[in-house]
Structure 1
Amino acid sequence: MADKTEKATPKKVKEARDKGQVAKSMDLGGGAVLLAGTFALGTFGAAMTTGMMDFLTSGLTAGRDPDSLTETGLMHGIYEAAQVGLKAALPILMVTALTALVIMAAQVNLKITPHAIKPDFKRINPGSNAKQVFGMNALVELVKNLAKVGAVMAVVATILLPMKEDLGTLVGMTPRAFAGLLVEEIAKVAKAAAAAYFVIGIADFVWQKHRLDKSLKMDKQEIKDEYKQAELPAEVRGAIRRRQMMASRARMMAAVPDADVVVTNPTHYAVALKYSPELAAPEVVAKGMDLVAFKIREIAKESGVAVVPDPPLARALHASVEIGDHIPEELYEAVAQVLAFVYRTANQRAAAA
């Protein structure tokens, strides 16, 4: 197979975007939200302090009124406290929510596609939130998570530890002074954490963009074929596509004997996976539905390739991974379990032989 060294054409980039394949970083959104929250805290801090003071004062003085200790009085107190808390926090909540929407919309260029919003079967995979276990992606996730934890710990140690000398002065503070100090210290911690988190988010976005660009790269022949097809009549392009599909299906079936496992639905879907230490992650070498799935299973059994029924995983792989692509990070754990089962079974059979 030719090396994919050429930058993706606008047509391929558009097709990828139509499928919802865009570079986006949740950490960038989180850092932006935290930054917005700190600025909002500085802007609305005085009003928030007043609200917190009212909340603390009403709570501390409620016991003086006998009526407040009845069931009705307690419910009324809870209702008033909730109102005070919501009123104090609402501006900050609105700013952070709007920031989250703007950042996410900016990353995906406000494009919503049917492919992106259709039901995504991979989300029901039991390993979708587990740690990644393959290749460079696992290392990047580990470094990123360690950086976030380290940043938070450094912020807490730098800002809060010096406060231990002043703990004795908190006892004699008025509710207003205590609330003001609390808001001030929260703002300090949030600003420092936001700056670190935002930098990590930018680095993560750059990495995600690099990964996307790399996955969309084309070889020179693909680019030539694309330009040639763009110049041909529609009827000729259709005939070429049909021949290409037939040739592609033949190559796909020829790759099944080299697979490590075929994951099935067990009758409607079949996805053949191959993995080796040289690969960054397991690769889909064949997939299909109904009759094509039956043919894949048939070739696998004839070739001695393990066939493992796993309906949720089979549907997720079929819906989210193209032939020749690596599996997404969300499915690493589930696929790792299947491969471990296949390798373990093969070793047991070899030992018994």
Structure 2
Amino acid sequence: MAEDAANKTEEPTPKRREEARTEGKVPQSVEVTAAAVLLAAVVVTTNRGPAILNALREMMRRSLLAASATDFTPALMSEVMRRMAGDSVAIAWPILAVTGAVGLTVTVAQVGFQILPKRILPDASKISPATGLSRIVSKRGAVEILKALLKIALVGWITWDLLRAVQDQIVPLASSGPREILAVAGHELGRVVAWTTAAISVLAAFDYAWQRRQHQMSLRMSRGEVKDERRQAEGDPQMKQRVKRAYQQIARRRMLDAVPSADVVVTNPVHLAVALRYAPGEMGAPVVVAKGAEHVAERIKEIARRSGVPVLERRALARALFRAVPIGGQIPGSLYRAVAEILAYIYALKQRRAS
């Protein structure tokens, strides 16, 4: 595993990132979501503090009245429990709604909105004891355990530090009324929650950075993987080269097959050869049916001689035709005169041979 990680030195490609995303492998920090939910709960509870206290006070009053009733019956108890349940829902639902919305929003902000059937379907490996143990003893599992211990230590240290700061106020509270005791307790509890939220938020920021780095490292690729992906996307260069050579060979074979139909082959004489054909009733100007350089030129001349096609040395004309006219193209008007003279000579030569 260490060797594999050492070999994966290349940054992930866009295709690799997209594949990981479709599989649900995206950087996500649970600590960020937890910190956001905790902060939302603190804000909602603070804003609704008076209403929550009044609701709790009313619940306690009704409970005490019911407990002191002389005719306490099962029906009365059922009514009290029903009202307590209703009051509890009234107190909790704003907090649950806001924290749920915040948690969903933060999660979607991190990973995006995706429906992944693979992640919904049950996976036997996730309930395997061996797999679970390997996750625990892995680097990621060790970090998760360390984070949990760090959160416990932070909350414990914050609580202990604040209690130590107010220890001088605890003894005088023994002679105070319930209102004063609740006020001090609520104030100190608020401080504990505020400091805890701040500490967890800092921890969440570090965890988010770590999760992104780990995700980036997990997507890294070896040079071989990058080459394979490029080969799949662009096609195997060797295969493309072979296909290109095959097409060139087919085109060259067709071109050479057209040499016997030419009227004349104009040469450089060594390096270039251009085969011309002209059928007055079929085409408006002479056409280049084949051309080539070096060994292809030698092949054209060889086929022409074997097929009885005249081969003439015209260096300037051969160079001009080779540069200006593609295979299957008609010669330009600037070369009409030179080509016409050659064709006239060839036709006259053929007539003399025929007679």
Q: TM-score range by the shorter chain?
A: 0.5 to 0.7
Ranked by relative contact order (alpha carbons within 8 Å, sequence separation 6 or more), the top structure is: 1
Deviations 1:15-49 (A, max 9, x none): 01111111112222111111111111111111111
Q: CA RMSD in A?
A: 2.9
Unmatched tracts of structure 1, length 5 or more: 238-353
Change (3 A) 1:219 1:129: closer
Q: Hey, what does 2:122 align to over in structure 1?
A: 119
Q: Hey, what does 1:154 align to over in structure 2?
A: 157
Q: Hey, what does 1:15 align to over in structure 2?
A: 19
Change (3 A) 1:182 1:96: farther
For the residue of structure 2 that corresponds to 1:116, the secondary structure is helix
1:193 to 196, 203, 213: 196
2:10 to 6, 11, 17: 6
Change (3 A) 1:55 1:169: farther
Change (3 A) 1:111 1:34: same
Q: Hey, what does 2:78 align to over in structure 1?
A: 75
Change (3 A) 1:106 1:92: same
Unmatched tracts of structure 2, length 5 or more: 241-355
Verify the 8 A CA contact 2:154 2:196 in the aligned structure 1: yes
CA distance in 1 between partners of 2:164 and 2:192 (Å): 12
Change (3 A) 1:97 1:178: farther
Matched, 1:48 2:64: no
Change (3 A) 1:87 1:131: farther
- Report the identity percentage: 29
Q: Hey, what does 1:101 align to over in structure 2?
A: 104
With the length of structure 1 as denominator, give the TM-score of the two structures.
0.58
CA distance in 2 between partners of 1:60 and 1:128 (Å): 53
Q: Hey, what does 2:208 align to over in structure 1?
A: 205
For the residue of structure 1 that corresponds to 2:224, the secondary structure is helix
CA distance in 2 between partners of 1:147 and 1:131 (Å): 22
* Aligned-residue offset at 1:139: 3.9
1:215 to 211, 214, 218: 218
1:285-324 correspondence to structure 2 within 5 Å: none
For the residue of structure 2 that corresponds to 1:192, the secondary structure is helix
* Aligned-residue offset at 1:129: 6.3
Verify the 8 A CA contact 1:24 1:209 in the aligned structure 2: yes
Q: Hey, what does 1:87 align to over in structure 2?
A: 90
Verify the 8 A CA contact 2:7 2:222 in the aligned structure 1: yes
1:216-231 correspondence to structure 2 within 5 Å: 216-231=219-234
For the residue of structure 2 that corresponds to 1:112, the secondary structure is coil
* Aligned-residue offset at 1:217: 0.5
For the residue of structure 1 that corresponds to 2:91, the secondary structure is helix
Deviations 1:120-169 (A, max 9, x none): 22332246766955353344234312211111101211234445533663
Change (3 A) 1:207 1:99: same
Verify the 8 A CA contact 2:66 2:76 in the aligned structure 1: no
Paired amino acid for 1:222? E
Q: Hey, what does 2:68 align to over in structure 1?
A: 64
Verify the 8 A CA contact 1:48 1:89 in the aligned structure 2: no
Matched, 1:140 2:143: yes
Verify the 8 A CA contact 1:30 1:100 in the aligned structure 2: yes
For the residue of structure 2 that corresponds to 1:111, the secondary structure is coil
* Aligned-residue offset at 1:112: 2.1
Q: Hey, what does 1:308 align to over in structure 2?
A: none
With the length of structure 2 as denominator, give the TM-score of the two structures.
0.58
CA distance in 2 between partners of 1:86 and 1:179 (Å): 23
Change (3 A) 1:79 1:133: closer
* Aligned-residue offset at 1:232: 3.1
Deviations 1:179-215 (A, max 9, x none): 6555544432222111111222222222222122111
CA distance in 1 between partners of 2:16 and 2:149 (Å): 35
* Aligned-residue offset at 1:231: 2.2
CA distance in 2 between partners of 1:167 and 1:94 (Å): 40
Q: How many residues align?
A: 233
